[in-house]
Structure 1
Amino acid sequence: MSRRHYDLPPLTTLSAFETAARHLSFKNAAQELSVTPGAVSHQIKALEGELGVALFQRKHRGVELTREGQELFETLVTSFRQISRQLLKTRQNGEEDAVTVGSTTAVAALWLSPVTIRFWREYPDLNIHQITQDRPFHDTGQFDFFIRYGRDADTTLAHTSIYRDQLVPVARPDIADDLGKASLQELAAQRLIHLQSASQSWTTWADWFHELGYKGDISVGTRVTSYSLALQIARKGAGVALGWKRLIQPMLDSNKLAIVEGHSVPAPREFYLVGLPEDELSPNAQTLKNWILSEAKDSSV
């Protein structure tokens, strides 16, 4: 369609603006778009010139959206998301009934996949696509919702609380038994398995010890970039991992891991179902969402 028919600015300017508004950073937008920050700035200035309003307030350490910028951003997010989802359906040969849900590999293996299997048994004709990755989800067009520890920075996404977990040290059962009720100082001296996640929301060993009031040194231990790998290393007896108790309950029940008793901290963040606003969810996606929330409530510990 011609631009004249819809009276739209060039889509390149709208895309640059949406990306910069989502990141609140021209630099990060440039990285996502594979262009220079100067190119992003040029596109946004062109858009502001055509609209005759300022969309950003330039500040010393970044940018903020103006009222007009926020209103335009919210409209573009909804529109781009709908376009992206329609294109996805077209690529999937019109598979309109499918629901896509994302999570980390650990959340998928330990909690979401069993929940989804039970859902399939109840709704065998409803197709579910699971996307697993251990980095933050950014392409909102590819899913209906995803499970996240802590709130997402994208304020246009709906956040529904699933549960708040307890953080406990876990190890191979014999190691956990030997440690008994170790003091914080003794625990800090163990080979700790540190998770270095691309998402900054995950609680670290340093956070955990700080919450308990311990201010001493913490073992450097082993560093991994996947929580699934952290649990497997602990299971093999190569260290002590920080366990999200409810999430890893299957491994506790099967005696693959055991809690080092004596110290527990409520997780500072909740697990959320993050994704499309309610009025953008398909009936099938709403059915799956309700199922996930019901399962979380029924399995509370």
Structure 2
Amino acid sequence: MSRRHYKLPPLTTLAAFEAAARHLSFKNAAEELSVTPGAVSHQIKALEGYLEAPLFQRKHRSVDLTDDGKALYEALSTSFARISKTLSTIRDRSLGGKVTVGSTTAVAALWLSPSVIRFWRDAPEISVDQISQDRPFRDRPDLDFFIRYGRDSDPSLDHTALYRDNLIPVGSPELAERLNRTGLRDIAAQRLIHLDSEDNSWTTWPDWFRELGYEERLTSEARVNSYSVALQLARKGAGLVLGWQRLIQPMLQSGKLVPIGSHYLTAPNQFYLVGRPDDELSENARALKDWIIQEVREGTV
């Protein structure tokens, strides 16, 4: 049926408004929609013109929804969720119940992939696709859920807490032997491998030292944008990496990496399994989700 039958404005204006209202940010909405902030602003102005009513209160550095904006956002988010559920049902049927799960490359290599392999042995009829990337998962309707450190900014996603990790310095066995019983000053004097990430929820070396009361400047450093690369550099003796103790447990158990000193910090955030609500997941997706949660609780991963 045509748009006129439902007396709707252009759907592009509604999509731009929903994203901007969800983020309360034209910039973040533009990133999600792969357009410019100006294009988002133009679409919203067109929608406000169509409605002859303002939808946002525009401030110097932020925006808030008006009462009309809140009412429209509630209607759109509910409607889009129902559409998404219907589309997912159709997609699951056409894909034969395939499940898609996402994670960082390090999470995939260190515990998610082994967990999926064990799941396949128990349920060989279920196909699982893994998507690994070291940047936030945005606008990925193909994902059923993904593993994330810290909560996602999208309030429509369900969050299931998995575990809270400890952060410890780790390095090669040779470096660990040389730095036995070392203090914070000695650790700070080593080459520290820093992780540059789009996601600022990850605890960094400066965060770690600051929380432990060490305020002096860190001078010797190397930077990478992949935690897997950081771990490999540390394994080869190129420096120290901030180790997520439970995440890298396979490398600690094998002796490829060794804790340096006795200092540790409990991570401020938890790891979560993030995705669509259970009532929007297929039976196969719920089975994999339950499997992952059970393995985490049993300490298998």
The equivalent of 1:107 in structure 2 is 107
What letter corresponds to residue 194 of structure 1 in structure 2? H
Alpha carbons 1:102, 1:130 under 8 Å: kept: yes
Distance 2:147 2:224 in 1: 21
The equivalent of 1:13 in structure 2 is 13
Distance 1:81 1:182 in 2: 54
Distance 2:216 2:300 in 1: 34
The equivalent of 1:125 in structure 2 is 125
The equivalent of 2:290 in structure 1 is 290
Query: Is the alpha carbon distance of 1:191 and 1:85 closer, same or farther for their aligned partners in structure 2, counting shifts above 3 Å?
Result: same
The equivalent of 2:182 in structure 1 is 182
The equivalent of 2:247 in structure 1 is 247
Partner-residue secondary structure (3-state), 1:201: coil
Give the TM-score of the pair, scaled to structure 2.
Answer: 0.92
* Cα distance, 1:108 vs structure 2: 0.2
Identity of aligned residues (%): 60
RMSD: 2.1
Instruction: Give unmatched runs, 5+ long, in structure 1.
Output: none
Matches within 5 A, 1:67-106: 67-75=70-78, 77-79=80-82, 81-82=84-85, 85=88, 89=91, 94-106=94-106
Alpha carbons 1:53, 1:68 under 8 Å: kept: no
What letter corresponds to residue 294 of structure 1 in structure 2? Q
Please tell me whether residue 217 in structure 1 is matched to residue 245 in structure 2. no
Distance 1:106 1:115 in 2: 14
* Cα distance, 1:231 vs structure 2: 0.1
When structure 1 is superposed on structure 2, of 72-81 and 56-65 the one drifting more is 72-81
Query: Is the alpha carbon distance of 1:32 and 1:277 closer, same or farther for their aligned partners in structure 2, counting shifts above 3 Å?
Result: closer
The equivalent of 1:37 in structure 2 is 37
Give the TM-score of the pair, scaled to structure 1.
Answer: 0.92
* Cα distance, 1:140 vs structure 2: 3.5
Alpha carbons 1:77, 1:156 under 8 Å: kept: no
The equivalent of 2:159 in structure 1 is 159
Residues 23-60 of structure 1, C-alpha deviations (whole Å, 9 max, x = no match): 32223333444544333222112223434554322122
Query: Is the alpha carbon distance of 1:58 and 1:247 closer, same or farther for their aligned partners in structure 2, counting shifts above 3 Å?
Result: same
* Cα distance, 1:270 vs structure 2: 0.3
The equivalent of 2:275 in structure 1 is 275
Query: Is the alpha carbon distance of 1:77 and 1:64 closer, same or farther for their aligned partners in structure 2, counting shifts above 3 Å?
Result: farther
Distance 1:221 1:128 in 2: 39
The equivalent of 1:170 in structure 2 is 170
Alpha carbons 2:102, 2:131 under 8 Å: kept: yes
Distance 1:207 1:238 in 2: 21
* Cα distance, 1:3 vs structure 2: 1.1
Alpha carbons 1:101, 1:145 under 8 Å: kept: yes
Please tell me whether residue 2 in structure 1 is matched to residue 5 in structure 2. no
Query: Is the alpha carbon distance of 1:73 and 1:193 closer, same or farther for their aligned partners in structure 2, counting shifts above 3 Å?
Result: farther
Query: Is the alpha carbon distance of 1:2 and 1:73 closer, same or farther for their aligned partners in structure 2, counting shifts above 3 Å?
Result: closer
Residues 85-134 of structure 1, C-alpha deviations (whole Å, 9 max, x = no match): 468x39xx911401110000000000100111000000000111100000
Matches within 5 A, 1:20-59: 20-51=20-51, 53-59=53-59
Query: Is the alpha carbon distance of 1:13 and 1:219 closer, same or farther for their aligned partners in structure 2, counting shifts above 3 Å?
Result: same
* Cα distance, 1:249 vs structure 2: 0.4
Distance 1:121 1:65 in 2: 50
Residues 128-179 of structure 1, C-alpha deviations (whole Å, 9 max, x = no match): 1100000000023120100000011111111110000010000001211211
Residues 159-214 of structure 1, C-alpha deviations (whole Å, 9 max, x = no match): 11000001000000121121112111111110000000111111100111111111
Alpha carbons 1:149, 1:202 under 8 Å: kept: yes
Distance 1:217 1:184 in 2: 12
